Amino acid sequence: MAANFWTSSHFEQLLDPEEVDVVHQLDKDKGLTLEEFKLIKMHMTNCILKLAQSVKVRQRVVATAVTYMRRVYTRKSMSEYDPRLIAPTCLYLASKAEESTVQARLLVFYIKKLNSDEKYRYEIKEILEMEMKILEALNYYLVVFHPYRTLAQLLQDAGINDMSMTQLSWGLVNDTYKMDLILTHPPYLIALACMYIASVHREKDITTWFEELRVDMNVVKNISMEILDFYENYKISDERINAAFSKLDFNP
Amino acid sequence: MDPSKKVADRYLKREILGEGTYGVVYKAIDTKTGQTVAIKKIRLGKQKEGVNFTALREIKLLKELKDPNIIALIDAFPHKGNLHLVFEFMETDLEAVIRDRNIFLSPADIKSYIQMTLKGLAFCHKKWVLHRDMKPNNLLIGSNGQLKLADFGLARIFGSPDRKFTHQVFARWYRAPELLFGTKQYAAGVDVWAAACIFAELLLRRPFLQGTSDIDQLGKIFAAFGTPTPSQWPDMVYLPDYVEYQYVPAPALRSLFPMASDDALDLLSKMFTYDPKARITVQQALEHRYFSSAPLPTDPAKLPRPTPKSRPSDFNPQEGPTVLSPPRKSRRVMPDRDRFEGNSNQVEKIDDHVGEARPAVGDHAGKSDQVPMSVDFSIFGSKPLSRPTINSADRSHLKRKLDLEFQHND
């Protein structure tokens, strides 16, 4: 989308990391830690991806869905807004908002196909009801910008046309959705950070190109560090996820 | 139900204004601000598809478009399972002004109305939003005379190169020739053409080009401006639904608009340019000398308006042109098409969405010249899911390297 990011609601709504890394009081009361909170969001990002693969929607839709989900949890608790319902509903809403509607019954069909765990198996009715609540939680702001388009332009501008660089930076951008970066940084900076990591990894020296850009390279570097920190701590296991969910599912 | 019941603890419900494209519209008082508002109750789709797609489009765009010449979406809330959209209340619309025989529109009044129309449109285009449904009854007029663009149910964000759109937008009388020839890669020019039709309608006090079918619409356009020559519009012959029309010379524009000033005619002719690439942009139109020369546009508050009736303004009974055109794949030339006329806007809007749900399948097949945008490594990659792109060993190595570089910046 080429709409103007700087005058968009997305830009206005960018948050500080400290605002994003807050476990809702209700969840805290159940013993959910910040680590577990992040872990569940990461796990649900994967769930959205899996579901999206089944129903075959564009990457844009996935990215928007994940952004919606992450925005919801800056305002709402996981105790009240079950991630296992929020995730598919965000995909449903994003598919509409990105003009590639997926039918709710198709979504439910695949949810059931992909998940044997009863706790994931929600019905159409529940998704449609949750859609309305998500809209409210998002304060009806639906336009989201993503790094993909910018990345393609930047790669071209930097004169990079070998597939391995493109693929690596593209994959890195995909991985950033497992973090909350899209809530805290403008998409073009995320794109630059991914390009930067890719260039260092592939030992492609584009330092001059970076220096000619009118961007604060320290910011880009910091984002790159955040991404690399994420890879370091990237440990997702069923046990940890189940442990986190069992805390949420516990009703005294 | 008690008619003055408070909705969502905030709105005092008043009379029903009528039936909109996707639900009932009623008048209400916002107890928080004292403002009169129009509330659209969005009916939930019958096919169990949640919040109406058209309504969602409108919400999405209006949340981004805040401008004095664009209808303000004040609030949205769910109530009894239905989504409600709260708009500022508008007294009337431009169609009512144009049709009201008791109203005299001076050249300065016309200038004011078309200027506000173009200002609203310029804001949309600046935000890369195409309205795609410009017509007088979508231009609402508030109590202070301000004209505002409304009904963004057909609007789309544009700007991606080669993005394919449906050509089935706009009420026929306001459709640009490239749309009538079936183009799917149109841009802001389609709104400019429609605005030109509205401009002409303000001057004539009747719809300017009243085609009875798409073919006839083109005939009416060519009769007014002459059949376009390839030199005037080089891309025309390549359009999907292009058919050759018998050559008609252009009558003098002056003969069609005997009362218009030279400046008005000059602007009009630039807005009615055949080649969308050569057509004036909204911003350029606003900078045209027509708007700076005498008489200056009337102050909106002093514009003539119809005496307020109970006529609702936020929706339109289906009079005027219908929007139906043949399904997107069929050719323009189709006998008997007009018997579908009764079907009205709504059908078209649904059509539009169905057509676009999966643009990638049919339309792009075999034409994958645009590499990176549609390539999706995560989705189509072999092991896309939980596997991170970089592993831990890479990471520490990279981190060290990253730290080294750019240290001179610190």
Q: Give the residue with greater pLDDT, B127 vs B316.
A: B127
Six-digit token string for B226: 């002459």
Handedness of CA B366, B371, B374, B380 (dihedral sign): positive
The mean pLDDT value for A94-105 works out to 92
Residue A52, pLDDT > 80, answer yes
pLDDT in the model for residue B5: 62
Higher per-residue pLDDT: B73 or B18: B73
pLDDT bin (cut points 50, 70, 90) of residue B306 is confident
Cβ distance B81 to B267 under 8 Å?
no
Q: Which of A50, A100, A217 sits opposite B357 (nearest CB)?
A: A100
Binding-site residues of B for ATP, please? 41
Q: What is the mean pLDDT of residues A45-53?
A: 95
- What is the model's pLDDT at position A207? 84
- Residue A83 Cα distances to A130, A136, A184, B321, B348, angstroms: 11, 16, 21, 47, 37
Tokens representing B326 are 């043949």
Mutation choice for A interface testing from B57, B389, B401 by most A CBs within 10 A: B389
Q: A145-163 pLDDT, tens per residue?
A: 999 999 999 999 988 888 8
Over residues A66-74, the mean pLDDT reads 97
Q: What is the mean pLDDT of chain A?
A: 91
Confidence check: pLDDT of B407 > 50: no
Alpha-carbon gap, residue B12 to B28, rounded angstroms: 5
Kindly determine whether residue A170 and residue B374, on different chains, have CB atoms separated by under 8 Å.
no
Q: Which of B77, B370, B377 to mutate to test the interface with A (most CBs of A within 10 A)?
A: B377
pLDDT band at A12 (very low <50, low <70, confident <90, very high): confident
B207 with B320: CB under 8 angstroms? yes
A55 touches chain B (CB under 8 A): no
Query: What's the pLDDT at A119?
Result: 87
User: Which residue positions of B form the known binding site?
Assistant: 41
**Cα A67 to Cα A48: distance, rounded to the nearest angstrom:** 11
Residues sharing a CB contact under 8 Å with residue B127, sequence separation 6 or more, in sequence order = A3, A4, A7, B64, B65
Contact B127 A166 (CB under 8 A): no
Q: pLDDT > 90: what percent of chain B?
A: 49
- Of B264-278, B317-331, B367-381, the range with the highest mean pLDDT is B264-278
pLDDT at position B186 is: 82
Q: What angle do CA B57, B60, B62 make, to 5 degrees?
A: 100
Provide the pLDDT for residue B52: 84
3-state class (DSSP) for residue B285: helix
- Which candidate, B136, B121, B286, B245, places its Cα nearest to that of B187? B121
Question: How much is the pLDDT for B277?
Answer: 95
B11 by DSSP, 3-state: which?
strand
Place of tokens 């030339």: B333
Return d(Cα B325, Cα B240) in angstroms, integer: 15
Q: What is the pTM of this model?
A: 0.79
> Which chain A residues touch B56 with a CB distance below 8 Å?
96-97, 142
Q: Do A128 and B356 touch (CB under 8 A)?
A: no
User: Phi and psi at residue B29, in whole multiples of 5°?
Assistant: -110, 130
Best CA proximity match to A191, nearest among A229, A163, A230, A165: A165
Residue among B314, B311, B375, B318 nearest B346 (CA): B318
The count of residues in chain A is 252
- Please state the rounded mean pLDDT for residues B303-316: 61
Over residues B73-115, the pLDDT tens digits come to 999 998 887 889 999 999 999 999 999 999 999 999 999 999 9
Per residue in B345-394, pLDDT (tens digit) is 333 333 333 333 333 333 333 333 333 333 333 333 333 444 566 666 67
Q: Do B77 and A136 touch (CB under 8 A)?
A: yes
Of B222 and B156, the structure prediction assigns the larger pLDDT to: B222
Closest C-alpha among A240, A249, A252, A251 to residue A38 = A240
Q: Of A15, A77, A65, A39, whose CA–CA distance to A179 is shortest?
A: A39
Per-residue model confidence (pLDDT) at position B1: 45
Comparing C-alpha atoms, which of B94, B270, B278 is closest to residue B178? B278
Residue pLDDT, tens place only, A221-251: 999 999 999 888 777 788 888 989 999 887 7
pLDDT band at B228 (very low <50, low <70, confident <90, very high): very high
Whether A170 and B375 lie within 8 Å, measured CB to CB: yes
E strand residue ranges, B92-213: 92-93, 129-130, 139-141, 147-149, 156-157
User: What's the whole-number average pLDDT of chain B?
Assistant: 77
Q: So what's the ipTM on this one? A: 0.87
DSSP alpha helix (H) spans, chain A: 9-12, 17-20, 25-29, 34-55, 59-72, 83-97, 104-114, 124-137, 147-157, 163-176, 181-184, 187-201, 207-212, 217-232, 238-249
Which structure tokens are listed for B46?
């019958």
Per residue in B151-205, pLDDT (tens digit) is: 887 766 665 444 566 666 678 999 999 999 998 888 899 999 999 999 999 999 9
